């Protein structure tokens, strides 16, 4: 059974249809890249998979391990193993990163019927992962993302990915706003999490990110549909020729 | 308000009440005469209503349908319930002074543990020789009623230079249902002293009771004082409290109020900065649900130059509850170099929740820095979604954001243990919500 099956998905925002019948299948262990110009519906797809309010699914299905994802609340999807790394992670003043990580992890474990992680085990794990991502300990004591640079916010997303151990990671424009060094650190963090049991969907406008996170499959989205799929060489092709040909095709 | 109107309806109920309890009120004839005068003041004014500017948002005449009879002395069963309540609400290590239904309960209090630097008398004892405590610089109807009816209170005096390591916790416990209590206390803190005063208002099995409390605080020069008030009365209770605070020179005074109970409550604080070089920090949190009405009204009077005042208020309002914040900063003509700021924010958790914020600056000096800000809004949907996408159910995500919101006021409490105690009250309020 595929990990994620998006079947003929149609989505509206207010009165406008953004996705016009999108189909996508992702198996465990695979890394898919979704590329496309601005306004092609890439972020809409990621939001609908995570359960963000404000989107109306008018047709189609999203199955996660065969279960209807659209029937689940966002927190239930998270507990099942769906993780969205936000393009713009929010700042939450007054909630320390450490408190947030522990509360979220334990909420997910509780939903799965697992026991709460003991504090010493949790702290040890956070320290290990944050060290590997070059996240200073004092950042964890500050409000979630408050005063963080763009790169720090993205690393904080990767830190959560590493702690929560989701089976599906959706990375929404992870490269936006990052310089090359920050991108490399975040990408290294993501690559360390690649596993035969975990799939990733990397959403990006630019081919650059795919030099660091090398995909198994590349999809091109245009005007709310996947218009072409291929191997990683498709990304290079796009880099050379641009999106215009696909906009015409769609 | 003329006499004829004051004597109708709710005015009549209190008038009967005073006549029937006059003999039970403590004090020699001179004090009784002062009480009678205060009561006549009350009768003349009547219960406050919305046509009085200070009570515009808290129409007590409409909110309090009747003034309840004075609570009887607690019996053995009530004292047993009160003892349990003391255990439940005591702050670890604090010296407890307990008032049950408006009467000091020595057996439940840590009188001996206060130490030699703190002297304690009851209001009852003090009134034997001094009626002065019944006078206040300012009088409105509820203050006058308090002077007329006050049955007891604590009169504390902390010696110059005393460095009190343990907080003093005054615990007001209501055991009598459908009754009212009137208390009046004084806390005088000596020069250079360091002290923490906590006031707690709780119920011990009682319902639908009314509390009218008055507190007179005098802070001597160079003192360092934390004053924390925790009003967690029963959900159908009424609590109206008036505080009069006079601050000397070079004082650090940190006041915090949390309102997490009572159907109708009003804290009115009148704080006068009377000595130069003092720093005043006044902070508060209102946690209101259902049809609760919580009013915090503050007047900070900069009477002298070179003082700093900061006010940080947060209101969390659910269901059809109504939160009121009125903050006035007065800067007298001589009070140059005053630095006074207040910020109040309301979080509306339902479409029917209501917040009224009325900041006022009255500035008569020309070299000052004063400002105020007020906001009201709902929880941020983008923050809620982020938390939900990380596995938090809706109510838990809301609770985390609400805790962060009120945390900005609670973090002004310097003492770790007290801060944790206050956070615990907020957490229990949030648990009752979900």
Contact A95/B at CB under 8 A: yes
Residues of B whose CB is below 8 A from A78: 388-391
Cβ–Cβ below 8 Å for B392 and A107 = yes
Q: How far apart are CA A179 and CA A216, in angstroms?
A: 25
Contact B394/A at CB under 8 A: yes
Give every strand in the sheet of A56-64, ordered side by side: A16-26, A4-13, A56-64, A67-68
Kindly list the domain boundaries of chain A, sorted by start residue. 4-249
Which one, of B231, B172, B213, lies nearest residue B425 by Cα?
Answer: B231
Residues of B whose CB is below 8 A from A164: 390-391
pLDDT at B238 over 70: yes
Cβ–Cβ below 8 Å for A75 and B381 = no
pLDDT tens sequence across A122-165:
999 899 989 888 888 888 999 999 999 998 999 999 999 999 99
pLDDT at A239 over 90: no
Which member of B393, B396, B408 has the closest CB to residue A94? B408
Tell me what ipTM this predicted complex has: 0.96
Q: How far apart are CA B148 and CA A159, in angstroms?
A: 64
Q: Is the CA virtual torsion A25, A31, A37, A42 positive or negative?
A: positive
Which one, of A53, A61, A82, lies nearest residue A8 by Cα?
Answer: A61
Phi, psi (rounded to 5 degrees) for A66: 85, -10
Residues of B whose CB is below 8 A from A77: 389
For residue B234, what pLDDT band results from cuts at 50, 70 and 90? very high
Which member of B383, B392, B394 has the closest CB to residue A90? B383
pLDDT tens sequence across B338-366:
999 999 999 999 999 999 999 999 999 99
Fold classification of A4-249 (topology level)? Rossmann fold (3.40.50)
Through-space distance between the first and last CA atoms of chain B, rounded to whole angstroms: 45
**Lowest model confidence (mean pLDDT) among A85-89, B7-11, B51-55, B314-318:** B7-11
Which one, of B403, B341, B332, lies nearest residue B364 by Cα?
Answer: B332
The answer to whether A207 and A241 have CB atoms below 8 angstroms apart is no
pLDDT at A51 over 70: yes
pLDDT tens sequence across B98-149:
999 999 999 999 999 999 999 999 999 999 998 899 988 777 999 999 999 9
Contact A145/B at CB under 8 A: no
Q: How far apart are CA B201 and CA B186, in angstroms?
A: 17
For residue A248, what pLDDT band results from cuts at 50, 70 and 90? low
Three-state DSSP state, B263: coil
- Beta strand pairing status for B279-288 and B180-189? unpaired
Residues of A whose CB is below 8 A from B381: 53
Q: How far apart are CA A29 and CA B355, in angstroms?
A: 52
Three-state DSSP state, A9: strand
Q: Dihedral through CA A187, CA A189, CA A194, CA A197, nearest 10? A: -140
Which residues are within 8 A (CB) of B85 and not within 5 positions of it... i.e. 6 or more apart?
A: B171, B173, B202, B203, B204
Within 13 Å of residue B68, how many CA atoms lie on the same side as its CB?
Answer: 21
> From the CA of A210, how many Å to the nearest CA of chain B?
25
Alpha helices per DSSP H over chain A = 42-50, 74-80, 97-111, 119-132, 137-140, 150-164, 180-192, 209-212, 233-241, 244-249
Residue A105: closest CA among chain B residues belongs to which residue? B391
Q: What's the angle, vertex CA B73, arms to CA B70 and CA B75, rounded to 5?
A: 135
Q: How far apart are CA B206 and CA B236, in angstroms?
A: 10
Contact B386/A at CB under 8 A: yes
Residues of A whose CB is below 8 A from B392: 75, 103-104, 107
Residues of B whose CB is below 8 A from A43: none
């Amino acid at each position: 059974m595929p990990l994620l099956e998006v079947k003929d998905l149609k989505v509206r925002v207010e009165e406008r249809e953004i996705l016009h019948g999108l189909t996508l299948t992702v198996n465990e262990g695979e890394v898919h890249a979704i590329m496309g110009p601005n306004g092609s519906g890439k972020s809409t797809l990621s939001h609908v998979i995570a359960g963000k309010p404000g989107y109306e699914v008018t047709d189609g299905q999203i199955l996660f391990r065969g279960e209807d994802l659209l029937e689940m609340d966002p927190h239930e999807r998270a507990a099942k193993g769906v993780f969205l790394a936000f393009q713009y992670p929010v700042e939450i003043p007054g909630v320390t990163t450490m408190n947030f990580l522990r509360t979220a992890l334990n909420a997910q474990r509780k939903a799965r019927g697992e026991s709460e992680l003991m504090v010493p085990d949790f702290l040890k794990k956070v320290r290990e992962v944050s060290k590997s991502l070059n996240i200073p300990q004092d950042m964890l004591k500050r409000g979630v993302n408050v005063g963080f640079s763009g790169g720090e916010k993205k690393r904080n997303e990767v830190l959560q990915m590493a702690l929560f151990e989701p089976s599906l990671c959706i990375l929404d424009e992870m490269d936006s706003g990052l310089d090359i060094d920050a991108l490399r650190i975040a990408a290294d963090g993501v690559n360390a999490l690649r596993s035969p049991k975990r799939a990733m969907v990397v959403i990006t406008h630019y081919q650059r990110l795919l030099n660091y996170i090398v995909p198994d499959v590349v999809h091109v989205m245009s005007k709310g549909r996947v218009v072409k799929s291929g191997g990683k060489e498709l990304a290079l092709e796009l880099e050379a020729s641009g999106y215009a040909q696909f906009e015409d095709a769609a | 308000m003329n006499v004829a109107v004051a004597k109708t309806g709710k005015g009549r109920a209190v008038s009967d009440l005073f006549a029937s309890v006059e003999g039970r009120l403590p004090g020699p004839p001179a004090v009784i005469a002062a009480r009678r005068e205060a009561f006549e003041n009350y009768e003349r004014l009547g219960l406050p209503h919305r046509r009085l500017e200070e009570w515009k948002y808290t129409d007590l005449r409409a909110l309090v349908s009747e003034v309840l009879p004075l609570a009887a002395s607690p019996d053995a069963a009530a004292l047993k319930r009160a003892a349990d309540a003391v255990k439940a609400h005591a702050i670890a290590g604090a010296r407890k002074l307990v008032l049950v239904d408006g009467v000091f309960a020595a057996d439940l209090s840590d009188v001996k543990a206060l130490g030699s630097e703190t002297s304690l008398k009851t209001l009852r004892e003090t009134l034997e020789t001094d009626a002065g405590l019944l006078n206040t610089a300012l009088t409105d109807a509820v203050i006058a009623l308090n002077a007329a009816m006050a049955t007891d209170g604590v009169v504390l005096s902390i010696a110059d230079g005393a460095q009190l390591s343990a907080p003093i916790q005054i615990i007001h416990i209501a055991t009598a249902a459908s009754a009212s209590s009137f208390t009046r206390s004084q806390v005088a803190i000596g020069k250079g002293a360091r002290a923490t005063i906590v006031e707690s208002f709780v119920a011990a099995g009682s319902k639908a009771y009314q509390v009218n409390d008055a507190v007179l605080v005098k802070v001597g020069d160079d003192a360092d004082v934390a004053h924390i008030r925790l009003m967690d009365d029963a959900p159908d209770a009424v609590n109206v409290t008036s505080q009069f605070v006079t601050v000397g020179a070079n004082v650090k005074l940190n006041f915090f109020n949390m309102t997490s109970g009572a159907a109708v409550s009003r804290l009115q604080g009148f704080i006068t900065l009377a000595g130069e070089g003092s720093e005043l920090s006044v902070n508060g949190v209102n946690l209101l649900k259902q049809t609760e009405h919580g009013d915090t009204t503050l007047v900070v009077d900069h009477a002298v130059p070179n003082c700093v005042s900061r006010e940080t208020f947060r209101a969390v309002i659910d269901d059809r509850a109504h939160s009121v914040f009125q903050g006035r900063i007065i800067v007298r003509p001589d009070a140059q170099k005053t630095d006074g700021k207040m910020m109040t924010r309301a979080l509306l958790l339902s479409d029917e929740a209501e917040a009224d914020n009325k900041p006022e600056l009255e500035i008569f000096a020309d070299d000052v820095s004063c400002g105020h800000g007020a906001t009201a809004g709902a929880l941020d949907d983008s923050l809620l979604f982020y938390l939900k996408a990380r596995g938090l159910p809706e109510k838990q995500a809301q609770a985390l954001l609400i805790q962060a919101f009120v945390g900005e006021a609670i973090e002004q409490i310097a003492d770790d243990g007290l801060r944790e105690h206050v956070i615990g009250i907020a957490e229990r309020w949030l648990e009752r919500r979900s």
